[in-house]
Amino acid sequence: MAKDYYNILGVGKNASKDEIKKAFYKLAHKYHPDKKEGNETKFKEVNEAYQVLSDDTKRTNYDQYGSQFENMRQGGGGFQGGFGGFNASDFGGFQNGGVEFDFGNLNDIFSDFFGGGMGGGGRGEKRGRDISTEIQISFSESVFGTERKILITKTSTCLVCKGSGAKEGTKMETCKNCNGQGKIREAKRTILGTISTTKVCEACLGSGELPKDACETCKGKGVLRREEEISIVVPAGIRDGEMIRLAGHGEGVKKGAAGDLYIKVNVTSHPLWRRDGNNLITDLNLKLSDALLGTEYPIETLDGEIKVKIPEGVALGEILRVRGRGVPTGKNKRGDVLIKLNIKLPTKISRKSRELIEQLKKEGI
């Protein structure tokens, strides 16, 4: 059974070439193996679908022959050959004239597309990987903010050579990989044609020089894996699942900027309080007599006790508001506390109470 290329790209059978191309770039970016959540299998499927649907002849054959397309493509009759006039030798990964190919070139292409380089523009300064972790805080800490210190093991700049990779006092020599140019020019034949790129030399990272003697601690890498203590300031009002970004606290890279650290904040629930925007809500159970006659109740908030006046004749579900005791929203500004009133009816009543209630009933109360 032939693969449903339209379904793989998420387009309709009447999709235009531009729609197919946009869908391809979007999915290829999403599933690229170099991405954190990449998927090489789906990446290959997306590329295979694009190779067929972006070519008028192959798309016509696919639409016409349906389930027989795969057999015909692989030599069962009807049509064969590479795509767009390329030969199998161009890629080293083509099989039987089909659409499977070596993804080494594609990885470089999409690195250029989505990583900040195209054509002869180069790739600029290298940057370390972004990393992530999680912390757990209490409900009260999420409202008023807090600080945390965590220990995280990551690739960090070498403290001895300060990231240079060179032994102190050593002489520098011309990089043999790029002959001191700091850049290497490459021409690659791909499914998109021949693409010429100029990239930073991976040996000297663009400097054109290498130390004669490497740092003994990091062996010339400029970075090494070590444990690092990081302080995290959790802002007031943060919500469960929100992320905190610490720029430059990700993994380091030789002669380049460190990546970022993302911290997901998990907030534990509170037995009495919950959030509604910048307001804090709680439930208060009242006795029937208090609801009828009114009274005063002590309420334990997140930052101290307050006394709430219950007016006479309150209704079930009525909400009382205490201003300025909710979630901080700025300097000397806070949301409100909302108290939802529940009237607790007695399950058993005494004879005397029954007589009083009967009297109230007669009076129309």
Distance between CA 249 and CA 132 in Å, rounded?
Answer: 10
Query: Which tokens go with 148?
Result: 């945390």
- d(CA 315, CA 319) in angstroms, rounded, equals 9
**Do the annotations mark residue 107 as ligand-binding?**
no
215 among annotated binding-site residues: yes
| Residue 205 marked in a binding site | no
Distance from chain centroid for Cα 170: 42
Chain-centre distance for alpha carbon 154: 19
- Residues paired with residue 266 on neighbouring β-strands, in sequence order: 136
HSE (CB half, 13 Å, CA atoms) of 189?
12
Burial (Cβ within 10 Å: 0-12, 13-18, ≥19) of residue 23: buried
Q: Is 332 annotated as a binding residue?
A: no
Dump strand ranges (E) for 65-144.
131-137
Cβ atoms of 275 and 327 closer than 8 Å: yes
- Token pair 């991405």 is found at 35
Total residues belonging to the chain: 365
Environment class of 289 (CB within 10 Å of its CB; exposed 0-12, middle 13-18, buried 19+)? exposed
Task: Say if residue 178 carries a ligand binding annotation.
Answer: yes
Q: Which two tokens stand for residue 167?
A: 């032994």
Tokens for 336, please give them: 């409100």
Q: Strand, helix or coil at 192?
A: coil
Q: Judge whether 145 is annotated as a binding position.
A: no
Category of 190 on φ-ψ map: left (φ > 0), alpha (ψ -120 to 50) or beta: beta
Which residues sit in the known binding site?
158, 161, 175, 178, 201, 204, 215, 218
Which residues sit in the known binding site for Zn(2+)?
158, 161, 175, 178, 201, 204, 215, 218
